[in-house]
Amino acid sequence: MALLLGPYAEVVLHDAATDRVLAIWNPISGRVPGDPSLLGELDTIEPAGTDVYGPYEKSLADGRRLSCVSAVLRDPDGRSSAVLCVNLDRTPFEHAAAVLQSFAAPTAPPPPALFEQDWTENMRRIIGGFVRTSGRQLEKLSRPQRIAVLAELDSAGILDIRRSAPTVAAALKISRATLYSLLTELKTTRSQP
């Protein structure tokens, strides 16, 4: 697979037991065998049916975005034993697409059609992404981490939506009171760092 997909795809084999990288081909992310996988709660991402997840999106620290699929490889007895991930660097395609689009595109952003109708989906993606990259369960986040998630949600405009507060609090599994407590802390530390 690594050969077929040329220099733009990274193929990683994870050990599900130790949560570490077993082998890696064409390492875009710079990981080496033995590194922690940070798969976190991959198993619970998509409880629907198959053992193949994705395609979903991940980002590298340098901003490149990857399209990823993962497959769980199971023992004969059914317990998972390894996870195979293929990460494709999208940037070249995005660049080419941007060239084509910009040729005729108005400077105004393409009418965002229906404004992100389902903001709860949006919210869940942000929270889910944080949980996955931080590698800790939602319930076990530290206070600063919770504040960080809130900052993301806030700057994504989620909190400007009517009646969102209770929903957001529920999604973060904290009380409404705590939500506001975190929020004021976020704002004060932002103005006096």
Which residues lie near DNA (CB under 7 A)? 143, 146, 159, 162-166, 173-178, 180-184
Select from its own copies, DNA, none the partner in contact with residue 178, using the beta carbon and a kind-dependent cut-off of 5 to 8 Å: DNA
Distance CA(165)–CA(158), nearest Å, equals 9
Radius of gyration of the chain (CA): 20
CB nearer to DNA: give 101 or 142. 142
For residue 24 the two structure tokens come to 């890696």
The beta-carbon contacts of 56-61 under 8 Å, at least 24 apart in sequence, are 58/87, 60/28, 60/29
Select from DNA, its own copies, none the partner in contact with residue 176, using the beta carbon and a kind-dependent cut-off of 5 to 8 Å: DNA
Residue 70 amino acid letter:
S
Select from its own copies, DNA, none the partner in contact with residue 177, using the beta carbon and a kind-dependent cut-off of 5 to 8 Å: DNA
Select from its own copies, DNA, none the partner in contact with residue 173, using the beta carbon and a kind-dependent cut-off of 5 to 8 Å: DNA
CB nearer to its own copies: give 26 or 122. 122
CB nearer to DNA: give 5 or 148. 148
**Block residue for tokens 């869940």:** 124
Q: Which residues in this chain contact its own copies in the complex, by CB under 8 A?
A: 54-57, 67-68, 88, 90, 93-94, 96-98, 100-101, 103-108, 110-112, 114-117, 119, 122, 125, 129, 155-158, 160-162
Greatest extent of the chain over all pairs of C-alpha atoms, in Å: 57
Query: Please, what is the minimum distance in Å from the beta carbon of residue 124 to its own copies?
Result: 11
CB nearer to its own copies: give 40 or 54. 54
> Three-class SS of residue 92?
helix
Smallest Cα–Cα separation from 140: which of 169, 172, 185? 172
CB nearer to DNA: give 52 or 170. 170
Exposure letters 25-36 (e unless 16+ CB within 10 A, then b): ebbbbebeeeee
Select from DNA, its own copies, none the partner in contact with residue 158, using the beta carbon and a kind-dependent cut-off of 5 to 8 Å: its own copies
